[in-house]
Amino acid sequence: MTINNMPLVSVIVTTYNRKKLLKETIDSILHQTHKNFELIVVDNYSDYDVKSHIKSFNDDRIRFFQNANNGIIAVNRNVGIKKAKGEYIAFCDDDDCWFPNKLDKQIRVFNKNDVKGVGSSMLRFNGDKIYKREEPSKEDVDYYSFDNVLKKNINVPLSSLIIRNNGSLFSQNRDLVCVEDWDFQISLIKMGGCIARVNRPLIKYRVGNVPNPQKKLNNINLLKTYKNLFTEKEYSKSLNKYYKMIGFGYLFVGNRKEAINYLSLINSRFGDSKPFFLTLLKVIPNFLFVIIHYLYLKINLFIK
């Protein structure tokens, strides 16, 4: 049912060469308890007949488009936003799934006037394997300020996000690929308001088997974009966090050279990693280095 033939929510799914996973995603969206929505699927010219695949769902709420994004997924998300007719816009990646009550639970949160977007916690999975749920909060809903989203990188999973349809678009800057959803949430509340999170899993988020440290590199670019909004200490602390994350990511996949490069960038004035560990990394096995660093952090925490 729609009001004046206009959907309340426009759901945007971008896809490329994931026929089986796309079916799971679309099925989960079509089975929402809230029925007043349209589903916009934007395909990056997959190598199978996506149009026929979409027709097989036999649901006139689905609108299908194709557009070449040239490796920048934000381009096709923006195509979807520009096609959207709903009062609200929701997003879902083509390998994630929604729980049936997702939209119903989230739309109610917009009753709070300064809420610019609503996400949720998630259940991580891969195939039949279910990973540990996020730690529960004491509150039903948490509200994240601009400082929380920018400086603490507390943002909601994009596949859980629903926003008001106010013309907001994703950055198409290639230097922000893989962090465009974080940048998008920052931009939503830069002039005021907050991002809300329903503290129960409303999506199933598919995780990969092997972490890819290269996907974290553009976090550094995003921090540089907003550098003027940080104090010197805040900025250095944030950089340290990502240098460490990237360094240990490379260590995990066995690239000791890149691990040393990024761990060497940590500013010892604000960071908790010392040159001592870089020396160790050059002479001991990767796994032993990780264990020693873990024990070091635990001892430091105990002392503090």
Q: Which residue segment(s) compose the domain that 22 sits in?
A: 9-206
Amino acid code (one letter) for 180? E
* Radius of gyration over every alpha carbon of the chain, rounded to an integer in angstroms: 21
Q: What is the pLDDT confidence band of residue 276, given thresholds at 50, 70 and 90?
A: low
In the predicted model, is pLDDT for residue 303 greater than 70? no
Assigned domain for 1 exists: no
In the predicted model, is pLDDT for residue 36 greater than 90? yes
Question: How far is the CA of 286 from the CAs of 126, 135, 202, 257, 289, in angstroms?
Answer: 26, 29, 37, 11, 5
217 or 283, which is more confident = 217
Domain end (from 168, 188, 206): 206
Span 175-210, pLDDT tens digits: 999 999 999 999 999 999 999 999 999 999 998 766
- Match 């430091």 to its residue by tokens: 300
pLDDT of residue 302: 41
Q: What is the mean pLDDT of residues 250-254?
A: 76
pLDDT of residue 300: 46
Domain count, the chain: 2
- Match 């729609």 to its residue by tokens: 2
Domain end (from 174, 206, 238): 206
Q: What's the CATH number where 107 sits?
A: 3.90.550.10
Distant-in-sequence contacts of 297-303, Cβ < 8 A, 24+ apart = 297/272, 300/272
Degrees, nearest 5: CA angle 133-263-246: 40
Assigned domain for 155 exists: yes
pLDDT of residue 106: 97
SS3 51: helix
Same domain, 108 and 180: yes
SS3 222: helix
pLDDT of residue 214: 80
pLDDT of residue 301: 42
Going by C-beta distance under 8 Å and a sequence separation of 6 or more, which residues neighbour residue 275?
Answer: 268
Share the mean pLDDT of the chain.
Answer: 87
Assigned domain for 4 exists: no
Question: How far is the CA of 54 from the CAs of 16, 43, 50, 62, 64, in angstroms?
Answer: 13, 11, 6, 8, 7
Span 76-125, pLDDT tens digits: 999 999 999 999 999 999 999 999 999 999 999 997 779 999 999 999 88
Domain end (from 206, 225, 240): 206
pTM over 0.75: yes
What would the two tokens of residue 147 be?
């400082």
Q: What is the mean pLDDT of residues 144-162?
A: 95
Same domain, 124 and 194: yes
User: What values do phi and psi take at 172, rounded to 5?
Assistant: -105, 20
